[in-house]
Structure 1
Amino acid sequence: MGRLAFRLARTLRNLLAECVVLALLLAVAVLLPRGSAIEGQASVIDGDSLRIGEHEIRLLGLDAPEYRQTCRAQGADWPCGRQARDALRAMTQMRELSCIAEGYDRYGRTLAYCRSGEDDINAMLVRQGWAVASGDFEPEEVAATREKVGIWRGEFDLPRDHRAGRRRFGWLSALDWPWTFKWPWQGE
């Protein structure tokens, strides 16, 4: 009977924790209506996320390489995820941002388009080649691709593929086997 009571208590505790998280997300949704502005100086988290005050913001319409992601150019790997973060940091450093909230992602981050004066930060990241377009900014991506800037100067995994473990240029850590394999006689 003791184990059953312990399991029941653990289940109730987990249910209570989930309810608290849901209540907090709902409270944030009510307190920060869609289309509201978040303004201030930002601290950069990674290539497509930043924080302004209490708000963790995920930039909409783009997808930047993950912080630890590497890309390949001229036969060598380079830390494109870190460089994407550094590019966003350079764009926002010592500048006031105004971000328009459009909703929330599954992690509770605010989804937003951000500007600094006349500069559209989201579009600039894609235009300078530090992110791929994801629903918006296709003309900027075409220009970055054509000019071979940022991640477009070589080969890279799409950030969504990298997150999912479908890494073409790296190794699957769990299996220690290349994701794509070619026999020696298949050539490049």
Structure 2
Amino acid sequence: MRIALLGILSLALQLIAASAFAQSSTASFPKEVDQTQGRIKFEAPMKDRQIVDGDTIWMGIHEIRLYGIETVEPKQDCRRGRENVDCHSLTIEELKKHISDPSFRCDGFRVKDGKPWKSYGRFVALCYTDAGEVNLAMIESGWALAEKKDKDSI
């Protein structure tokens, strides 16, 4: 009974998070982010795209943090019923579907002085394929939670 309730609660939280993120698809950025300046375009051949974890990737020489999402960390406990599940690997498999799309690209943000917006040295960006926004797709698939605002920004 407890496990079923946890599953229902988890699903409800994912739906709420996805709804909140979808409503703010231009997202609520910290005041330091300048929406008037052009975004930084990140593109790389498929061979130069690598996954660090569920919300961080490398595109060529650039490390990119997917804006507005939080994913399961390695070694973080994840259970399906009474069974332990490697959710981190499953999250990476989901992200791999997106970054292996030939149309995959990311748009990084700038702060008011024109410099790139970075979080722990990583460029903060929204990523896309021709099918749509990858950040949102990760939430809608249940493999990421929406963050209202990047806590470690700037």
- For the aligned pair, the TM-score class normalised by the smaller chain equals 0.5 to 0.7
Write the letter of the residue equivalent to 1:62.
Answer: I
Q: In angstroms, what is the RMSD of aligned CA positions?
A: 2.0
Residue equivalent to 1:30? none
Is 1:126–2:130 an aligned residue pair?
Answer: no
Larger Cα-atom Rg: 1
Distance in 1 (CA, whole Å) between partners of 2:39 and 2:78 is: 35
Match of 2:93, SS? helix
- % identical equivalent positions: 27
How many residue pairs get aligned? The number is 104
Match of 1:56, SS? strand
Is 1:108–2:121 an aligned residue pair?
Answer: yes
Unaligned runs of at least 5 residues, structure 2? 1-36, 110-116, 150-154
Q: Deviations over 1:18-42 (max 9, x none)?
A: xxxxxxxxxxxxxxx8621111232
Q: Which has the higher contact order (CA 8 A, sep 6+)?
A: 2
Q: Is the 8 A contact 1:34 1:101 kept in 2?
A: no
Match of 2:104, SS? strand
- Structure (1 or 2) with the greater helix fraction: 1
Of 88, 91, 102, the residue aligned with 1:81 is: 88
Given the two structures, how large is their TM-score scaled by the length of structure 2?
0.61
Runs of 4+ in 1 over 6 A off after TM superposition: none
Q: Is the 8 A contact 1:67 1:85 kept in 2?
A: no
Q: Is the 8 A contact 2:107 2:127 kept in 1?
A: yes
Unaligned runs of at least 5 residues, structure 1? 1-32, 137-188
Q: Is the 8 A contact 2:98 2:104 kept in 1?
A: no
Q: Deviations over 1:55-74 (max 9, x none)?
A: 01110011010123231111
